[in-house]
Amino acid sequence: VEYTPITLNGKYCGVMRGLWRMQGDMMGGPFVSHTRLDEKNHRVVVAEGFVYAPETDKRNFMRRIEAALFTLRLPGEFDEPVTETLDIPKEKK
Residue ranges of the domains in the chain?
2-79
Query: Per-residue confidence at 77, pLDDT binned at 50, 70, 90?
Result: confident
Q: What is the pLDDT of residues 18-71, one digit of tens each?
A: 999 999 999 999 999 999 998 888 899 999 999 999 999 999 999 999 999 998
Residue 62 DSSP code: H
Q: Is the pLDDT of residue 86 over 70?
A: no
**Distance of alpha carbon 60 from alpha carbon 7, whole angstroms:** 24
- Distance in angstroms (rounded) separating the CA atoms of residues 17 and 12: 17
Determine the pLDDT at residue 73: 85
